[in-house]
């Protein structure tokens, strides 16, 4: 019995607001649920696709979400070469990639165990902020909330985007002041 060839992955490369990141939109899922950000080759070693993407010269971070891979690269990297090599890795590794494999994150708390304040903040962010960030190839995680101060960690393209510490941060703070607490302050970590 002969094996049928694996179909080629259709990849659409899109720019993001971050000049050092691209979104690679695929015709199949990268993750069946959730998101995963790999900030180093060591973090990615359990995922063959993510690990192989770090083998491309210039790749600094990899973010998986639904059918999108966001790659953050070094500023001085050769853009065309990096894009070409990332596409080649995706073509060769997707046939053995498991979209049900998620990154283990011990710091992530189940939402059910969050305080009422954090649950409300997460709900506001899910409804107002995260869709835009995810559309740009990124996301954010709430790190902690205490004494009217919210600390967030940007992921994917948002992690090194210049607007994440200015315009985006002010938008998050403004929305949370309107919908949650007029005294809240938001800080990136």
pLDDT for position 136: 79
Does residue 169 lie within any of the structural domains? yes
Under DSSP, the state recorded for 112 is G
pLDDT in tens, 156-174: 777 777 777 777 888 899 9
What CATH number is associated with residue 39? 3.30.1370.70
Whether 132 and 81 share a structural domain: no
SS3 (DSSP) at 63:
strand
Domain co-membership, 78 together with 136: no
Mean per-residue pLDDT over the chain, rounded: 85
Give me the percent of the chain exceeding a pLDDT of 70: 92
pLDDT band of 109, cuts 50, 70, 90: very low
Here the CATH number for the domain that contains residue 165 is 3.30.300.130
What domain count does the chain have? 2
Distance CA 144, CA 38 (A): 21
Domain residues for 55? Answer: 11-96
Residue 105 lies in a domain: no
Under DSSP, the state recorded for 95 is G
Q: Is the pTM of this model over 0.85?
A: no
Percent helix / strand / coil, the chain, rounded to 5? 40, 25, 35
Length of the chain in residues, anyone? 189
Question: Do both 87 and 16 map to the same domain?
Answer: yes
Quick one: which of 179, 156, 173 has its CA closest to 73? 156
Residue 162 pLDDT: 73
């Amino acid at each position: 019995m002969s094996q049928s060839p694996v179909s080629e992955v259709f990849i659409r490369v899109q720019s993001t607001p971050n000049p050092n990141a691209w979104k690679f939109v695929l015709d199949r899922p990268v993750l069946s649920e959730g998101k995963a950000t790999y900030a180093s080759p060591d973090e990615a070693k359990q995922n063959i696709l993510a690990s192989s993407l770090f083998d491309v010269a210039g790749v600094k971070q990899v973010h998986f979400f639904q059918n999108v891979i966001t790659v953050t690269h070094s500023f001085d990297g050769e853009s065309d070469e990096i894009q070409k090599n990332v596409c080649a890795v995706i073509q060769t590794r997707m046939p053995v990639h498991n979209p049900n494999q998620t990154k283990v994150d011990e710091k992530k708390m189940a939402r059910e165990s969050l305080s009422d304040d954090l649950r409300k903040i997460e709900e506001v962010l899910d409804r107002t902020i995260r869709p835009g960030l995810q559309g740009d190839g990124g996301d954010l995680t709430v790190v902690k909330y205490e004494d009217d101060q919210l600390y967030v960690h940007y992921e994917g393209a948002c992690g090194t985007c210049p607007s994440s510490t200015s315009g985006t941060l002010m938008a998050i703070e403004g929305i949370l002041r309107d919908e949650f607490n007029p005294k809240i302050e938001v800080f990136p970590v």
